[in-house]
């Protein structure tokens, strides 16, 4: 069941190894069309991490990563398949962003 995410993780890791960075854009239209917000983590954006890999820093910026069932990001450990609780992922792997500020302030993501 976890085989496809492992393949995705491996492919992203290969890209990161070759290029040092990776950006992924979500499909908001699909999300909205299916009203996925009501499904909670079942329909959230999946972020796979290896908590034992100290050479890679995952940073996922999102404006909708609140501490409730509607958190749009599902952080899981690729090795243990553990779903990370909100307190463990926020401000470590997930950073809540403010889209308006990100547009207006050129150094927003640096700050």
Distance from C-alpha of 90 to C-alpha of 98, rounded to nearest angstrom: 15
Domain boundaries, the chain: 3-104
Rounded mean pLDDT, 45-52: 89
Rounded mean pLDDT, 101-108: 94
Q: For residue 103, which phi and psi values (nearest 5 degrees)?
A: -75, -40
Residue 1 has pLDDT above 60, yes or no: no
The alpha carbon torsion through 86, 91, 93, 98 (nearest 10 deg) reads 100
Least confident of 10-14, 24-28, 57-61, 75-79: 24-28
Residue 101 has pLDDT above 90, yes or no: yes
Rounded mean pLDDT, 53-74: 81
Asked if 78 and 48 touch (Cβ cutoff 8 Å), the reply is yes
Q: What is the pTM of this model?
A: 0.74
The helix/strand/coil state of 12 is helix
For the chain, give the percent of residues with pLDDT over 70: 86
Asked if 76 and 47 touch (Cβ cutoff 8 Å), the reply is yes
């Amino acid at each position: 069941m976890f085989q496809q995410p492992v393949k995705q993780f491996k492919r992203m890791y290969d890209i990161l190894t070759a290029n040092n960075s990776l950006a992924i854009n979500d499909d908001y239209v699909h999300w909205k069309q299916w009203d996925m917000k009501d499904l909670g983590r079942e329909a959230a954006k999946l972020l796979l991490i290896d908590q034992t890999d100290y050479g890679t820093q995952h940073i996922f910026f999102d404006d909708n990563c609140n501490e409730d069932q509607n958190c749009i990001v599902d952080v899981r450990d690729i090795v243990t398949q553990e779903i990370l609780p909100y307190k463990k992922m926020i401000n470590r792997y997930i950073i809540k962003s403010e889209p308006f500020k990100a547009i207006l302030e050129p150094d927003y993501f640096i700050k």
